[in-house]
Amino acid sequence: MKTYQKSADLFERAKHLIPGGVNSPVRACRSVGMSPVFIEKAMGSKLVDADGNEYIDYIGSWGPMILGHAHPAVTKAIGQVLKRGTSFGAPVDLEVEIAEMIIDAVPAVEKIRMVNSGTEATMSAIRVARGVTGRNTIIKFDGCYHGHADSFLVAAGSGVATLGIAGSPGVPETVIAHTLSLPYNDLDTFVSVMKKSGDSIAAVIVEPVAGNMGLVPPAAGFLSTLRQETAKYGSLLIFDEVMTGFRVSYGGAQELYDIDPDISCFGKIVGGGLPVGAYGGRKDIMSQVAPEGPVYQAGTLSGNPIAMAAGIATLKELMKPGFYEALEKSSARLAQGLEKAAAKTGTSAVINRVGSMVGLFLTNQPVSNFADAKTSDLDKFAAYYRKMFQRGIYLAPSQFEALFVSAAHSDQDIDATIHAAEEALSELSIK
């Protein structure tokens, strides 16, 4: 019999000290009717909580653990750099090395600036776009989440969608006035808005594969239309590849779909699981960033040697022959197994997948945008989540998040997950 007393005690202590008892809202597990477990350790595809319970993990620290937890190459690199120090607040060779690796991997990036989070990367990219174009208005898409900066909390996905928050107190109306949020994958609406307002649009920012409303792939022609229209009106196209960068392919979603954005944002994998972000693009754009240009952005811990070392070690592993082919095979095995489990149990479900990102929606209609995702049965998802959790499967505690497969997930892990899903869905269908 599993017990969770240590986690419960820790959560009670945390609630008196930290808002909601957590340092990021989705972790509170409120939308699935649970309290969080506190993690003690992780290795490979597994997590172990404070009470010693083991789980097969499909959150992967929300994406960066593409190699699995505590990969030997990454932990070795961290250990080596620790001997040199933990933070210098000064240039270090490792940030030059990882910059070269990212630029080599992503042709649209000619210069890059390291920062400390995905939010910082997207926030900085927007500032650069406004500075370069002299315009104020940005376009984002409903259900896409680009971090918690003021400009992005209009019709956002991830935790904002999970908690049912329409926007956020504390965001001035004057900021919201400069953000237009359009339906994802709706080409006609986007073209119409650009025809009307394109000359005033500084940038269009998009998750090229949406991972914060569940997993939603781009429709045929969607990304190419964004590229054509932004070029036509002199707006900048920003790809938020914080999730997709080095995950859906080594060169990210822009390599997968053959689109060159003006600015690209990265995070997660490029830090090997440590706090990191990055934004980069064409030389003429990035040369506007201080101290080379007038657009100011700074960070005391940017280029932190530990994060740089972890990122370099991770990217070196991803470059090995056959890595993505093996990951694709495992991810397809999971997605196909979930589809069969849903069909066998008579469950209305949609499984979307791009590379090693997977989304399961408990709905009876295709999911191509945020409105479609919101047709999912949230109560049924919460029950499904709890049943999977009881069976040792650690999923994102929200219908509006993607699952991440890692190289550490074995066929046995995936088969156990599919079996658990079939049992869980079968129990729900009986009710």
Query: What was the pLDDT predicted at 174?
Result: 75
Residue 353 and residue 370 in one domain: yes
Looking at the DSSP assignment, which residues form a beta bridge with residue 413? Answer: none
Last residue within a domain, chosen from 257, 287, 318: 318
Cβ 216 vs Cβ 253: under 8 Å: no
Provide CB contacts within 8 A for 213, sequence distance 6+.
Answer: 142, 143, 144, 157, 161, 184, 369, 370, 373, 400
Residue 210: burial class (beta carbons within 10 Å; 0-12, 13-18, 19+): buried
Last residue within a domain, chosen from 296, 318, 340: 318
Query: What was the pLDDT predicted at 2?
Result: 85
Residue 37 and residue 89 in one domain: no
Respond yes or no: is residue 268 known to be catalytic: yes
Residue 354 and residue 274 in one domain: no
Residue 327 and residue 293 in one domain: no
Within 43-165, residue ranges assigned H as helices are 72-82, 93-105, 118-133, 159-162
Respond yes or no: is residue 283 known to be catalytic: no
What's the distance, Cα to Cα, between the start and end of the chain in Å?
Answer: 24
CB half-sphere exposure, 189, CA atoms < 13 A = 11
Q: How far is it, in rounded angstroms, from Cα 96 to Cα 76?
A: 20
Residue 233 and residue 354 in one domain: no
Residue 379 and residue 332 in one domain: yes
Instruction: Supply 160's token pair.
Output: 């904002």
Catalytic pick from 49, 57, 186, 240?
A: 240
Residue 388 and residue 254 in one domain: no
Q: Which of 16-42 are b and which e, b meaning 16 or more Cβ less than 10 Å from the residue's Cβ?
A: eeeeebbeebbbbbbbbeebbbbbeeb
Beta strands 201-206 and 39-43: pairing type?
unpaired
Nearest by Cα to 79 from 256, 305, 407: 305
Last residue within a domain, chosen from 271, 303, 318: 318
Q: How far is it, in rounded angstroms, from Cα 405 to Cα 299?
A: 32
Which amino acid belongs to residue 83? K
Residue 34 and residue 90 in one domain: no
Nearest by Cα to 302 from 37, 49, 124: 124
Residue 306 and residue 357 in one domain: no
Residue 127 and residue 257 in one domain: yes
φ, ψ for residue 328 (rounded to 5)?
-65, -40
Provide CB contacts within 8 A for 343, sequence distance 6+.
Answer: none
Query: What confidence tens digit (pLDDT) does each residue in 35-86 have?
Result: 999 999 999 999 999 999 999 999 999 999 999 999 999 999 999 999 999 9
Query: What confidence tens digit (pLDDT) does each residue in 375-398 have?
Result: 999 999 999 999 999 999 999 999
Domain span including residue 269: 72-318
What is the side-by-side strand order in the sheet with 393-394?
39-43, 46-49, 54-57, 393-394
Cβ 119 vs Cβ 297: under 8 Å: no
Residue 66 and residue 78 in one domain: no
Respond yes or no: is residue 145 known to be catalytic: yes
Cβ 128 vs Cβ 289: under 8 Å: yes
Give the CATH number for residue 339.
3.90.1150.10
Give the CATH number for residue 172.
3.40.640.10
Residue 236 and residue 289 in one domain: yes
**What is the residue-level pLDDT of the chain in tens, covering all 431 positions?**
788 999 999 999 999 999 999 999 999 999 999 999 999 999 999 999 999 999 999 999 999 999 999 999 999 999 999 999 999 999 999 999 999 999 999 999 999 999 999 999 999 999 999 999 999 999 999 999 998 877 777 655 454 554 444 556 677 777 778 899 999 999 999 999 999 999 999 999 999 999 999 999 999 999 999 999 999 999 999 999 999 999 999 999 999 999 999 999 999 999 999 999 999 999 999 999 999 999 999 999 999 999 999 999 999 999 999 999 999 999 999 999 999 999 999 999 999 999 999 999 999 999 999 999 999 999 999 999 999 999 999 999 999 999 999 999 999 999 999 999 999 999 997 65
Query: What was the pLDDT predicted at 157?
Result: 44
Catalytic pick from 4, 55, 58, 145?
A: 145
Catalytic pick from 46, 140, 268, 374?
A: 268
- Structural domain count, the chain: 2
Query: What was the pLDDT predicted at 151?
Result: 76
